A and B are shown apart, each in its own frame.
Chain A
Amino acid sequence: MKLRLCLVVMVFSLCSSLNAKTLEEWAKTFEPSALSIEERVKELKWFREVSKDLAKKLDGKTIRSAAEHIKTHFYERDVLSEAFFDITGIRVKHNIIGEGPVVKEIMTQLRTGRVIEHIYVNDADLIGTHLRYQGVVNLSEYMKSEGKKYTNPYLDLEDWLNLEFGQDYSGNQLQLPDQQFSNLYWFRYDWFTDPKNKADFKEKFGYELGVPINWAAYEDIAKFFTGRKQTNPDGSTVTAYGHLDYLKPSPSLGWRFTDAWLSIAGVGDKGLPNGIPVDEWGIRVENKVPVGSMVERGGAMNSPAAVYALSKFMEWLKFAPPEAKDLEWHTAGPRGAKGDVAQRIFQYITWLSTDAFHQKGSPVVGKDGYPVWRVAPTPHGRYWDEGMKVGYQDAGSWTIPKSVRDSYRAAAWLWAQFASSKTVSLKKFLVGGTPVRKSTINHPYIDKNIKKWAGLIEFYRSPAEKKWTDSGPNVPDYALSVTWVANLEKALKDFHNGASIPELAQKTMDQMAKDQDEMMAMLKLKKYSPKMNPIKSKGYWLKQPGSPKPERKPEKPETIAYDQLIKQWK
C-alpha cells in the first residue's frame, strides 16, 4: 500500500514538474514586453537567484496576498503567481476579494497586528490612513536597508506612473502602485459626430455638440440624447439614455462620491495633487492635521458646492437607464457597452478592457473593429477653478503591513516587484487595461494599436494626466467613508419618496459632515491625528478666500470637439 502511495506521489510530482515552465519559456510568454527577450531572461534570472535561500526557508509555506476582483488581478493570480513559483520556488496565493473586504482586512491587520495577508493590493486612496497609522512598511527605507538584497536592480522606479500616490508627506514610498485606474468621461463618438445629431443639438441649445467641458453642457447633452432614437454599428436601433450611473446600496455607492465627486464639482481648493487646505472629502487640513469637514469648522462637506454635487447626482438620474438603482460600480462599469448610452461622466477605465467594449459585433464596436466610443477629460462643476484637480484616478498599490516581517516580508516584496516588473507589465496591461509603467504606455506595440484604447493612451501620455488624482493624504482614516454610504442610502430613499432635491441634498450633506467630524474627533492616530476646529458661523468661513466657497450662479455650457481636444493632449 505504502509503495503504491509513493508511486502515485512520485508520478504526481513528475507531472507537476513537467508542467512547470522554464525561465526562458516564461520570458517568451511575456510577449510583447518593454524588455527584449535577453533583458527579460536577465531580470527573471535575478528573481531566481535572489530567491534561492528564501524559497528553501519558506518551503511548504505560502505567501498570501489579496486584491480586488478586476481582470488585472485575475491575471496576476492565474498567470503571474504560477510564473513566480516556477521561477523562484516561492508559492503565492493571490486571493481575489472585493475592494471592500480588502480594506476591511488590511484595517483589521493594522489595528490588531494579526497577520491575515502578507501583502495587499490596496488603493493608494488609503495613503492618508497609512501615513497616520504608521502600520505599513516604509518601502523607501526597506529598499535601503534589510530589503536592499531583495530589491530588483531593474526595478526602475522612474518608469512608474504616479508613484507619488503611494507616498507620505515626506515622499516616502509606503505603497507601490500595481495598476493605475483613472475615472474619465466616456461617450459615443459616432453619435456625437453624426451630422443630424450635431445640427439638431445646435438648433436646440445654440452651441456645438461636443465633449462637455462643464456640467451645464453635460446636462444639456443628457437631455438631448435621452429618449432619442439612435443606431449602432451592429445595425440595432435603440432609444438612448443621456447618462449612466449606479446607486445600489453598497460600499461602491460611497466610492461614487469619495472618488473625488466633490472635487470634480469644485468643492476644494486649488493645488495638485490635492487642494490645500481643503480638498478630498471636503476636509480642511492645516499643517497636515485634519481640522473639520463642516463649513462651520472651515471644511466644505456641506458647502453650497457639495450640495450642488449631490443635487446633480440625483437630478441626472432621470437621464439614466432605470436599472441604475440596481447597479454597483462593477455592474455599471461595462453597462455602456450595451449600446444605448450616449455619455457617462464617471467611467472607471478598469471596465473598458472588458470584451463587451471591444469584440466584433458589439453595438459599440465599428465595422473596422475599433471602438466607436472615446474617453475624454472629466467635465467639471460650476465651483471648479483653474489650478484644481480635474478628476479622479488611483492606483491599486502593493502594501505590506509591518506585522509581516523577515522572510515573509522579503518574499512578499519580491512578489510585488515581479508582478509589476518591466518583463510582465505590458502583457498585464493588454489583459487588464490598467497601466502602471511609462514604458508600457510609450511602447511601439501600443503606438501600432492606439485606436483600440479610444483616447486612454493619449490621456496617459499627456501632462494633463497629472490633474487626475486620488484621495490623497487629507483623509485620515478611509473607514470614514462608511458614514457617506449610510447617509447616501438614506438620501436616495427619501429622493425616491419624492423629497425635494436642494433641501434633501443640504440636509444630507449637513448630516454627513457632522458624522464625519464626530468620527474624526474620535480618532487617535500616531501621526497628524485630527484635531477639530472650534465651531464658527457658516458666514464667517464662506467669506474667507478659497474653499468653502459661497453659492455661485449657473455656468454657461461649454463643449469642445473631440478631435481638437485630442490634439491638446498630444
Chain B
Amino acid sequence: MKRLFFVFFIFLMLSPIKIGAQSLIISVESREFYPFFFVEKGSPKGILLDMVRDGLTPLGINPTFKPLPLKRGLKMVERGSVDAIIAPRIKNNNFLLPDDAFEKDISAHRILQIDSVAVTYKSDYEYLGDIKTLPTPIRITLGDPIESLFNENGLSIDDATSGTHNIKKLIRDKRGCVITTSLKAMTWLEHQKYKDKIDVSTEPVISRSYFLIFSKKSNFGQHKIQLVWNEIAKNRDDYIYPIKLFTAY
C-alpha cells in the first residue's frame, strides 16, 4: 500500500498537469519587435508577454509562449491548436476579441497601443501622414504585417531580420526609411552613432492596438477571458505598474 502511494506521489510530481494552476498556450510572433516581443537565446520575451503574464497570474494561470511566424500562429489559433495569440485586430469568425476592437482605433481592452514611425536620413523631408511620400526603399523587419499596407500602395520594401540591420542600411545608403516602433526610434535618437543622422516622424505610419486574441475553440471560458482582459487593462492604466514594466527594458 505504501509502495502504491509512493508511485502515485511520484506520478503527481512528474505530471505536467499542475493542480491549482491552469496553463495556457499563447502564440507570439517570432520576428523581432523589440522591446514588445523578441526571442533571446531561444526564449520569447518582451513587454507584451510580461503584461499578459501579469494579467493571468491573479487567476492562477500559467502561460506558455510559443514563438511562431504570424500567419502560422493565426492558423493555429483558428484550429484551436493554441489557446490565444498576441496580435493586432484580425477579423476571423474563430477568434475572440474585445467588443470594441473594431469600433475604436484605441481599444479599452488592448494590451498596449503601439505606434510605428518612419525613420529617415536627416533631410528636409517630413512625414505628415501620406505614405506615398515615404522615401523608398521602406525597410521593415521580416514578417511585419505592415508589409501589406506598402504593397497595396506599390511601394518598394526591403526587409531584414532586425531593426538594427535596417538602421545600419539606412545610415549606409543615406536613402529610404525604416519603419519601427516609436520606442525603438527613441533609443536610436539617443544613440551616439545615429542621433545626428536621422529624423523620426511625429506622426505614426500606423498605430495599432495589440490584443490577446483567444481561439473560440479554446477551453478557456468567456468569463475568464474577460477577467484577463480586465486585469491587463487595469495594470496598463495603473501609475506604478508601467514604471516596473518599462524599467526592465
* A interface list, Cβ under 8 A from B: 57-58, 61, 103-104, 107-108, 111-115, 118, 402-409, 477, 479, 481-483, 519, 522-524
Q: Does B158 contact A (CB under 8 A)?
A: no
Cα of A519 to Cα of B238 in the assembled complex, Å? 14
A249 to chain B, nearest CB (A): 14
A-B contact count (CB 8 A): 76
Main secondary structure of the interface of A (DSSP, over half): helix
Q: Does B156 contact A (CB under 8 A)?
A: no
In the complex, chain B residues 154-195 whose Cβ is within 8 Å of any chain A Cβ: 181-183, 185-186, 189
- B247 A522 Cβ-Cβ under 8 A: yes
Apart from the given pairs A104-B237, A112-B182, A113-B181, 16 other A-B contacts in the complex at a CB distance below 8 Å: A61-B128, A104-B239, A108-B242, A111-B246, A113-B117, A113-B183, A113-B185, A115-B115, A402-B186, A403-B202, A404-B202, A405-B199, A406-B126, A408-B202, A479-B240, A524-B247
- B243 A523 Cβ-Cβ under 8 A: yes
30 residue pairs A–B, Cβ–Cβ below 8 Å: A61-B128, A61-B129, A108-B242, A111-B242, A111-B246, A112-B114, A112-B115, A112-B182, A112-B183, A112-B246, A113-B115, A113-B181, A113-B182, A113-B185, A114-B113, A114-B115, A114-B182, A114-B204, A115-B115, A115-B202, A115-B203, A115-B204, A402-B186, A403-B202, A405-B199, A405-B200, A406-B126, A408-B202, A523-B243, A523-B247
Q: For A522, list chain B residues within 8 Å (CB).
A: 243-244, 247
Number of B residues, CB within 8 Å of A: 30
A234 to chain B, nearest CB (A): 43
* B interface list, Cβ under 8 A from A: 112-115, 117, 126, 128-129, 181-183, 185-186, 189, 199-204, 207, 237-240, 242-244, 246-247
Cα of A529 to Cα of B114 in the assembled complex, Å? 27
B80 to chain A, nearest CB (A): 33
Cα of A402 to Cα of B183 in the assembled complex, Å? 12
Q: For B204, list chain A residues within 8 Å (CB).
A: 114-115
Cα of A104 to Cα of B240 in the assembled complex, Å? 10
Given A104-B239, A107-B242, do A118 and B202 touch, yes or no (CB 8 Å)?
yes
- B199 A406 Cβ-Cβ under 8 A: yes
Cα of A403 to Cα of B117 in the assembled complex, Å? 10
Cα of A403 to Cα of B200 in the assembled complex, Å? 8
Cα of A481 to Cα of B243 in the assembled complex, Å? 13
Cα of A114 to Cα of B204 in the assembled complex, Å? 8
The closest CB in chain A to the CB of B245 belongs to A111
- B128 A479 Cβ-Cβ under 8 A: no
Cα of A483 to Cα of B185 in the assembled complex, Å? 32
Q: For A479, list chain B residues within 8 Å (CB).
A: 239-240, 243
Q: For A61, list chain B residues within 8 Å (CB).
A: 128-129
